[in-house]
Amino acid sequence: RIAPPKEARPGHAESYNPPGEYLMTREEEDAWRAADPSTRESPFLPVKYGALRQIPAYKPLVNERFERMLDLYLATRIKKSKLRMDPEDLIPKLPKPKDLRPFPDALTTSWRVPHGFARTIDVHPTGRWLLSGNNAGEVTMWEVPLGRPVYTWKFGDESDDGSEPVTCVKWCPLPDVAFFAATVGRTLYVVTAARFLGQIDVLRKTEALMEKSLEGKPSKTKGIAWTEFQTKSDSENASVDRIEISHNRAVRQIAFHRRGDYIGVVTKDGTGSAVVLHRLSMRQSQVPFSKKSATGVQDIAFHPLRPFFFIATQQHVRVYNLANQELVKKLSSGVKLISRMTVHPSGDHVLVSSLDKRLVWFDLDLSSKPYKTIRNHTLAIRAVAFHPQLPLFADGSDDASAHVFHATVYDDMLKNALIVPVKTLDGYHKPDMSLGVVDLCWHPVYPWLFTAGSDGTIKMFTNVS
């Protein structure tokens, strides 16, 4: 603390025998008495006494002492060191994007969807085959190295021109098989594509995996029906070519378990939503979550390593332990409406996109609140995805742009994830029907990004430079 300031020493005007020039005239005394006390130049009238013994008692002494004590009591005296800081020092020092390569930075290939536009896309675990589902109920398989369409499946009523759109399409995550799941209306289609790849070993493994569904008994879950379609292969052996699983609500999203046997499904309509788990090898279906837990489900995902299951509702993300059948954690996003969700390959981080232009990063080991919220788009964010191997993630928005980020996750628990924006892929898609980039996915090995736009094109961006 600072010592209190000392009082000013009395001057000549306060002397009992002041010089004549300090004394006031009659007019000055009348003006001093008529003035307001707060505007007077001097708080007292200089008076001249002939001797010291003639000085009377000083009447305002008590008031002056009291005001002095108030000044010392009410005016705190703390020495504050002024902090001098450059505003540039407050900005975190991030590495330059050129030091964080590789990442996609240039357009390499563009595909045109035959009808409408691709609402959903996915890449095979080998990275050679790309699936796209359009709003005409068609799923097209593309060969990525050559950029050519291989085959197109038509789902729904082929005689009906107003077919329902393909809402989601996913490859089986096993690299040595080739079958995919697609959702059209209230039906989940599990279709083999191995016979179009020209690989005998992949065809045999896929057929063996699909034929396991014939061994189990169909599930008797209410509102769910299983149907298998068998065809004749080149060896004239009966094989399951397609499995149809019908639901009592429209199917919106699907997610494969890492072993490829379980499929999580989100069914949703105006009456509500539900999460259904299907096991292909046993033809079993179950609804493990209550109606309250499955209200307003937007997206689902399996944990890449542990028996955890993620359910993203409109504003929260619930993490369930399927082995113990219990709720592990509830994450609060702070957004109005979640659009998509993706889980980091380590399983310790979750990335959520929202329709109110925000991207939310959760660190499951840190807190149930967002670790970082990114506002980098001017319109709603429709898609977000982590790269399976590289420290990259990307998001796509209705402003027809995709942003690529570098994200390093450390094994040290004391270090937070490093998130650096490295590239903005803008101007490649044209907005249509108030939509821009509706879906995106990564190549499983290389830093290649695939984006699907409402303009009817699919773009592939690679690390050219």
Q: Is the dihedral of CA 192, 159, 456, 255 positive or negative?
A: negative
Q: What is the distance between the alpha carbons of residues 107 and 234, in angstroms, rounded to a whole number?
A: 40
Kindly list the distances between the CA atom of residue 458 and the CA atoms of 19, 223, 311, in Å, as whole numbers in the listed order.
100, 36, 28
For the beta carbon of residue 295, count every other beta carbon within 10 angstroms: 13
Q: What is the distance between the alpha carbons of residues 225 and 248, in angstroms, rounded to a whole number?
A: 9
The series of mean pLDDT values per 10 residues for the chain, 465 residues long, is: 78 90 91 89 88 88 88 76 81 86 92 89 94 92 92 75 83 92 92 86 84 71 81 53 88 92 87 85 85 81 94 93 91 93 94 94 92 93 95 94 94 86 92 90 95 93 86
* pLDDT value at residue 161: 54
Q: Please tell me the pTM assigned to this model.
A: 0.78
* pLDDT value at residue 38: 84
* pLDDT value at residue 238: 52
The three-state secondary structure class of 153 is strand
In 21-72, DSSP assigns E strands to: none
In 160-200, DSSP assigns E strands to: 166-171, 179-184, 187-192
Q: Write out the H or E segment, with its range, that includes residue 72.
A: helix 61-74
